[in-house]
A = this chain, B = another copy of it.
Amino acid sequence: MLAVDAINKSNSGHPGLPMGCAPMGFTLWDKFLNHNPKNPEWFNRDRFVLSAGHGCMLLYALLHLSGYDSVTIDDIKQFRQWGSRAPGHPETFETPGIEVTTGPLGAGISNAVGLAIAEAHLSAKFNKSDACIVDHYTYVVMGDGCNQEGISSEACSLAGHLKLGKLIALYDDNRITIDGRTDVSFTEDVLKRYEAYGWHVQHVADGDTDIKSIETAIAAAKAVKDKPSIIKISTTIGYGSPNKSDTAGVHGAPLGEEETNLTKQQLNWDYAPFEVPQEAYEQYRKAIERGAKLEADWNQTLSNYSTKYPIEAAEFQRMLRGELPKDWDKDLPSYSADDKGQATRKHSQICLGALGPNLPELIGGSADLTHSNYTDIKGETGSFQSDSPEKRYLHFGVREHAMAAILNGIAYHKSGLIPYGGTFLVFADYMRGSMRLSALSEIGVIYVLTHDSIGVGEDGPTHQPIETIPSLRAIPNMLVFRPGDGNETSGAYKLAIQNRKRPSALCLSRQGMANQPNSSIEKVALGGYILEDCEGDPDLILIGTGSELDLCVQASKHLTKSGHKIRVVSMPCIELFEEQSDSYKEKVFPSSIRKRLVVEAAESFGWHKYIGLDGNSISMNRFGASAPGGTCMEKFGFTVANVIDKAKLLLN
């Protein structure tokens, strides 16, 4: 009823799910969920994910009733209002106690797979036969929408493969979607599908009133250790509403006063709006005492562990503090111009190899492109599997969207793990929904995106990114790096690792490029910097990134010989450049110097911020073509000669 009242007051929201899922929510939180309302950050809590995020009032109500300080009754009264801690979907960055930002359907259950992977990995890594410091379940409430989305299919197939026994999903089977009854589009046998994935499946036929069966089913799911569990709980959407229950009308619109009164009558609910019966508080808030004891017991366990295993305990606690190990970056390589040029994907592999031994929290893999993305960590063997969860390499399969969501889930676990994942840059499109959530939720996932331009070559336009880099740059809070040599790749990794509140997208080449004499790891932090310069004010500024940086450098040499004063600016990360001081930006790009030419084998979209109305670009304003990479580069104008020509057009 709190949900009904809040949604009526805000005149906006989704009452159907909270009304239908109250029984399963109550059962789970009252009987099973290990958490400490007075410390939402307590490490060993069970994670609860409301994958059907539109039903957030269920979650706010559970948090409030259970005694979380983060959601007061006043917050609930401010549901969906400016500045409220009860926003329209659950958001980790607004409300302590929210584990995962949800709303985009299918993402939450997929994040939960990541949470369960993190738990399994840390359990295997830290637990001892006589001291178990990592031991919790991940619970999910998901709806029909979550089960229709492909991302959940990908993630749940992988969860079954990995036998994530501590992942338990409660599937709110209410047979209603926005378009009406699910039978207009969704008549598959969901449980059979999950069985095919290797999950343990159960069905509770009456989720509206049969709390005992829900309890029994959750207990049974917990007992199955070698399979994730799904419990299909058949409910009535908007349960209790005499005229709107079991209709799409109650999914996403307020009940309204009249129907609310009828609902209260039907449910024998004799309380004013926002009035919570004392007995409800009393029952729910037993969680406070239980939680305090759970945390105290765990603290004792950790204390014993620390005595017996001081090195492991120190490491565990360092990770929980989110503190990087001393000298974690000491092996990141630097290069001189004499070092042989390599592809930045190769430099990336070297970085991962250099970081791996010094940064045990680094965990990741590839969406089935390990030997193309070079995402392996040198010297490590084996991968995270059901019988080797201590390993940190993840084979995601050909499942980009789930990969991104799982990486988010690992980050959401807040245990210091630093997740990374690789695919071809062009397939960032497949996982963009979850990349956006990394940025929105302020979590430092690292995306290793190789084959970053038409330099991909023969695979052709389906595999050649054109618009992908600009479209990633458009995402707020996403750091997009396109390093131009070995030093810049090391610098990009250093910054990606350090930025634990911002995701990073590393755009890396398939093909080799020269190392620059004046690049450095440190300069990457400036986002853009003067790589080569002339004496006095330049006549023209060349701007380059990635594999096109060296074209600018070579062209500048020719142009300098012809008597022109040329500056070359390397721009490995536009976002970081934008955060520099105005005076620094003015130093790099003096307002008075308007002859500017950017060279990047991608759409020019976005670059006019630097070249303005008077500059020019050598860029890709069409899709690519299938041919050897060098041929593509040449045919599309990415040659030193063309840079010189276009520069001269500006200079003359």
Question: Is A209 interfacial (CB-CB < 8 Å)?
Answer: no
Question: Is A305 interfacial (CB-CB < 8 Å)?
Answer: no
Do residues A88 and B460 form an inter-chain contact, with CB atoms below 8 A?
Answer: yes
Contacts of A613 in B (CB 8 A): 591, 594, 612-613
Contact string against B for A residues 522-535, beta-carbon threshold 8 Å, 1 for contact and 0 otherwise: 00000000000000
Contact string against B for A residues 496-529, beta-carbon threshold 8 Å, 1 for contact and 0 otherwise: 0000000000000000000000000000000000
Work out how many copies of this chain go into the complex. Answer: 2
A378 to chain B, nearest CB (A): 17
Within A475-508, the residues touching B (CB, 8 Å) are 475-477
Contact string against B for A residues 95-127, beta-carbon threshold 8 Å, 1 for contact and 0 otherwise: 000000111111000000000000000000000
Do residues A185 and B396 form an inter-chain contact, with CB atoms below 8 A?
Answer: yes
A159 to chain B, nearest CB (A): 10
Q: How far is the CA of A138 from the CA of B104 in the complex (A)?
A: 32
Do residues B625 and A87 form an inter-chain contact, with CB atoms below 8 A?
Answer: yes
Question: Is A89 interfacial (CB-CB < 8 Å)?
Answer: yes
Do residues B606 and A186 form an inter-chain contact, with CB atoms below 8 A?
Answer: no
Q: How far is the CA of A300 from the CA of B83 in the complex (A)?
A: 70
Q: How far is the CA of A87 from the CA of B369 in the complex (A)?
A: 21
Contacts of A370 in B (CB 8 A): 178-179
Stretch at the interface among A141-149, A282-290, A337-345: A141-149
Do residues B462 and A437 form an inter-chain contact, with CB atoms below 8 A?
Answer: yes
Q: How far is the CA of A141 from the CA of B437 in the complex (A)?
A: 34
Question: Is A91 interfacial (CB-CB < 8 Å)?
Answer: yes
Within A54-86, the residues touching B (CB, 8 Å) are 54, 80-84
Question: Is A189 interfacial (CB-CB < 8 Å)?
Answer: yes
Contact of A621 among B190, B398, B476 (CB under 8 A): B476
Contact of A475 among B368, B396, B467, B632 (CB under 8 A): B467
Interface of A is mostly: loop
Contact of A457 among B12, B157, B184 (CB under 8 A): B12
Question: Is A296 interfacial (CB-CB < 8 Å)?
Answer: no
Do residues A474 and B463 form an inter-chain contact, with CB atoms below 8 A?
Answer: no
Do residues A631 and B82 form an inter-chain contact, with CB atoms below 8 A?
Answer: yes
Do residues B461 and A184 form an inter-chain contact, with CB atoms below 8 A?
Answer: no
Contact of A398 among B149, B606, B635 (CB under 8 A): B149
Do residues A608 and B612 form an inter-chain contact, with CB atoms below 8 A?
Answer: yes
Question: Is A430 interfacial (CB-CB < 8 Å)?
Answer: yes
Taking A196-B189, A372-B178, A471-B470 as contacts, is the C-beta distance between A148 and B154 under 8 angstroms?
yes
Contact of A430 among B188, B433, B609 (CB under 8 A): B433
Do residues B193 and A463 form an inter-chain contact, with CB atoms below 8 A?
Answer: no
Within A388-444, the residues touching B (CB, 8 Å) are 395-402, 426-427, 429-430, 432-433, 436-437, 439-440
Question: Is A646 interfacial (CB-CB < 8 Å)?
Answer: no
Contacts of A473 in B (CB 8 A): 605
Question: Is A39 interfacial (CB-CB < 8 Å)?
Answer: no
Contacts of A471 in B (CB 8 A): 467, 470-471, 474-475
A186 to chain B, nearest CB (A): 5
Do residues B101 and A462 form an inter-chain contact, with CB atoms below 8 A?
Answer: yes
Q: How far is the CA of A626 from the CA of B625 in the complex (A)?
A: 43
Question: Is A153 interfacial (CB-CB < 8 Å)?
Answer: yes
Q: How far is the CA of A248 from the CA of B603 in the complex (A)?
A: 34
Taking A467-B476, A474-B471 as contacts, is the C-beta distance between A148 and B398 under 8 angstroms?
yes
Within A610-643, the residues touching B (CB, 8 Å) are 612-614, 620-623, 625-628, 631-632, 635
Q: How far is the CA of A314 from the CA of B80 in the complex (A)?
A: 55
Contacts of A383 in B (CB 8 A): 184
Q: How far is the CA of A469 from the CA of B83 in the complex (A)?
A: 26
Question: Is A569 interfacial (CB-CB < 8 Å)?
Answer: no
Question: Is A455 interfacial (CB-CB < 8 Å)?
Answer: no
Question: Is A160 interfacial (CB-CB < 8 Å)?
Answer: yes
Contacts of A145 in B (CB 8 A): 368, 398
Within A184-203, the residues touching B (CB, 8 Å) are 184-190, 192-193, 195-198
Contacts of A400 in B (CB 8 A): 149
Question: Is A10 interfacial (CB-CB < 8 Å)?
Answer: yes
Q: How far is the CA of A429 from the CA of B10 in the complex (A)?
A: 28
A249 to chain B, nearest CB (A): 10
Contact of A605 among B101, B157, B470 (CB under 8 A): B470
Nearest CB in chain B to that of A144: its residue: B398
Contacts of A182 in B (CB 8 A): 397
Taking A91-B460, A197-B188, A366-B179 as contacts, is the C-beta distance between A105 and B148 under 8 angstroms?
no
Contact string against B for A residues 359-394, beta-carbon threshold 8 Å, 1 for contact and 0 otherwise: 000000010111110000000000101000000000
Question: Is A244 interfacial (CB-CB < 8 Å)?
Answer: no
Q: How far is the CA of A189 from the CA of B432 in the complex (A)?
A: 28
28 A-B pairs (CB sep. < 8 Å): A10-B458, A12-B628, A13-B458, A81-B626, A82-B635, A83-B627, A91-B461, A144-B398, A149-B398, A149-B399, A151-B430, A160-B188, A161-B187, A178-B368, A178-B369, A178-B371, A179-B369, A180-B395, A185-B368, A185-B395, A185-B396, A187-B198, A188-B198, A192-B195, A467-B476, A470-B605, A471-B474, A477-B622
